[in-house]
Structure 1
Amino acid sequence: MMKKIKNHINKVAEEMWPISTWYESRYLAIYYFIFMILCPVYALITPAIQLFNTNPSIFWELAKHPIAISAYRISIVTAFYAAIINGIFGFLTAWVLARFKFFGRNVLDTFIDLPFALPTAVAGLTLMTVYNPEGPLGPLLSKLGIQIIFSRLGVFMAMLFVSLPFVVRTVQGVLQGIDDSIEEVAWSLGASPRDTLQYVLLPSLFPAFISGITLAWARSIGEFGSIIIISSNSPFKDLIAPVLIFQHLEQYNYIGASVVGSVLLFFSTILIVSVRLLAAYLQKFSIKNTYKSW
């Protein structure tokens, strides 16, 4: 009986989506990926690789220049802190939007996507307007001795602004896809709300949560438009790697821009892959502990 059902499903699937069409779609997706991702990456790293092969000492001089090292550190570390903060508050925001009905919920849900649609230069101008000494929050921040614009804190605030939707939307989509009956079954088996959250919901949400943080981290590392406006772009103070690349291009130093961009690309790739491997391991560990607990 099961074999007949399976054959019927396969037949219907072939009628709706022929195998030839599937192969064509697969190759179309591969070609699109090559054209949109691999070609620009190849164009970026080619000058750096050629320099490394012909004159490695100059390559390492550019890659390990003190200003470049400082820019890498500021970009990666500040983006990490922004991703962690957005991970916490983004998770809470996604939970509220997915689980509660309240006045203004649709408005809040709409405004979450604002950083997606807003040009990053406009985002920088908005933050500059809000946090400058004459802005709405400027006098209060001045009394507290807090300076946001033209400082590393301004870089942090810009990264928070542009990366929040990545966490919210990633977690919210999974939350809305979880059937309420799963929680009801857990309660009927005697699980407390805390146990239901810990052993039923969190294992399902954990991969999405880590993916959201990773996307927020990667987005923050690559942010440029808002940060170049709100920061002073001074070396060793608040200069980030994308702005350093732009400065090299302004000076027609294409080799320097390629080297810094390649190093940043390498670090970003290693970080993203490492986080994804860690998330996969922790998910398996969490599932094993869930089975043992039940």
Structure 2
Amino acid sequence: MRRNVLPGLSLSLGVTLFYVGLIVVLPLTALIFKAASLGPADYWSIISSPRAVASYRVTVLTALGATAFNLVFGLALAWVLTRYRFPGWRLVDAMVDLPFALPTAVAGISLTALFASNGWFGSVLSDLGIKVAYTPLGIMIAMCFTSLPFIVRTVQPVLEDLDPALEEAGQSLGGSDWTIFRKVIFPLLKPALLAGLSLSFARSLGEFGAIIFIAGNQPMSTEITALLVFIRLEEYDYQAAAAIASVLLFTAFAMLAITNLLQARALRYTVRN
């Protein structure tokens, strides 16, 4: 009989369910019950107020822009880190995880100092007529910084495990580099890319510390939904805070569910081919 190193199913399952229930399910359940304590009319009035709708628009549009940028830049960065070795390679690879280790408030202050009109980057961009700090563009940059590792770290292992013989076969058949990438490499990367995109988008939706310093926090203009939730908490309006936060929660869940369906479909396509 084979002896397992890990404990049996009962103990492992019990510990897992206890952790998930205590850390994940319990806070989310409390949030949903707090929002549900409002009547349907009051709930709709809170989440559909002009200020709340404006915060949704700012948050979602900037999160989509940051995710789209990270799709291109994150894939390119993962490709370079996987396929090439250069002086400082290990340093660049380690810096990808910097947003995980750096407190988001520190990141927000640093980005504001860099992109303010008198900052290193902001002064140059101001001369070109581009204002970053205290605009939606600044919010998008902060989101890009905090969510980039999710795409890089989900795509990088797949690239490392990719069999070079597949590319060599494509080259032997006369395929161009673009054709090989589109027909051979990209279908294998698609499930990992979808997972990275969903995590990146969800992180951008809920980001707070890195954004509030660079956003300007002007209602109806540069106020994100997470900040509006915080403002309602400071006003001791817990039901309104829970109602607005529930919109972010349901949006993130919907995004993850759709991405999981697309990922499962992509995996089935990859297996068939």
Alignment of 1:79 onto 2:66: no
- Counterparts of 1:41-190 in structure 2, within 5 Å, are 41-51=28-38, 55-184=39-168, 186=169, 190=173
- How far the C-alpha of 1:196 sits from its partner, in A, is 4.1
Identity of aligned residues (%): 38
Q: TM-score, normalised by structure 2?
A: 0.92
Alignment of 1:25 onto 2:25: no
- How far the C-alpha of 1:88 sits from its partner, in A, is 0.8
Name whichever of 116-125 and 270-279 sits farther off: 270-279
**Does the 8 A contact of 2:171 with 2:180 survive in 1?**
no
- Equivalent AA in structure 2 for residue 269 of structure 1: F
- How far the C-alpha of 1:127 sits from its partner, in A, is 0.4
**Which residue in 2 is equivalent to 1:273?**
257
**Does the 8 A contact of 1:67 with 1:235 survive in 2?**
yes
- Counterparts of 1:4-23 in structure 2, within 5 Å, are 11=1, 14-17=2-5, 21-23=8-10
Going from structure 1 to structure 2, the CA distance change for 1:190 and 1:138 (only over 3 Å counts) comes to: closer
- How far the C-alpha of 1:183 sits from its partner, in A, is 4.0
Name whichever of 273-282 and 105-114 sits farther off: 273-282
CA deviations on 1:258-291 (whole Å, 9 max, x unpaired) are 0001111111211221122123334444665xx4
- How far the C-alpha of 1:31 sits from its partner, in A, is 1.7
Going from structure 1 to structure 2, the CA distance change for 1:59 and 1:41 (only over 3 Å counts) comes to: same
How far apart, in 2, do the equivalents of 1:108 and 1:64 lie?
Answer: 44
Alignment of 1:239 onto 2:223: yes
How far apart, in 1, do the equivalents of 2:71 and 2:85 lie?
Answer: 22
How far apart, in 2, do the equivalents of 1:118 and 1:221 lie?
Answer: 19
Give the length in aligned residue pairs. 272
**Which residue in 2 is equivalent to 1:230?**
214
How far apart, in 2, do the equivalents of 1:187 and 1:264 lie?
Answer: 44
**Which residue in 1 is equivalent to 2:205?**
221
RMSD: 2.0
- Equivalent AA in structure 2 for residue 47 of structure 1: K
How far apart, in 2, do the equivalents of 1:264 and 1:197 lie?
Answer: 35
Structure 1 gaps, min length 5? 1-10
- Equivalent AA in structure 1 for residue 162 of structure 2: I
**Does the 8 A contact of 1:203 with 1:287 survive in 2?**
no
SS of match in other structure, 1:148: coil
- How far the C-alpha of 1:73 sits from its partner, in A, is 1.7
Going from structure 1 to structure 2, the CA distance change for 1:189 and 1:64 (only over 3 Å counts) comes to: same
Alignment of 1:192 onto 2:202: no
**Which residue in 1 is equivalent to 2:235?**
251
**Does the 8 A contact of 1:47 with 1:258 survive in 2?**
yes
- How far the C-alpha of 1:17 sits from its partner, in A, is 4.1
**Which residue in 2 is equivalent to 1:37?**
24
How far apart, in 2, do the equivalents of 1:145 and 1:189 lie?
Answer: 49
- How far the C-alpha of 1:234 sits from its partner, in A, is 1.3
Structure 2 gaps, min length 5? none
SS of match in other structure, 1:16: coil
How far apart, in 1, do the equivalents of 2:213 and 2:58 lie?
Answer: 16
**Does the 8 A contact of 1:224 with 1:242 survive in 2?**
yes
- How far the C-alpha of 1:200 sits from its partner, in A, is 3.2
How far apart, in 1, do the equivalents of 2:73 and 2:228 lie?
Answer: 30
Name whichever of 268-277 and 60-69 sits farther off: 268-277
- How far the C-alpha of 1:223 sits from its partner, in A, is 0.4
**Which residue in 2 is equivalent to 1:206?**
190
Larger Rg: 1
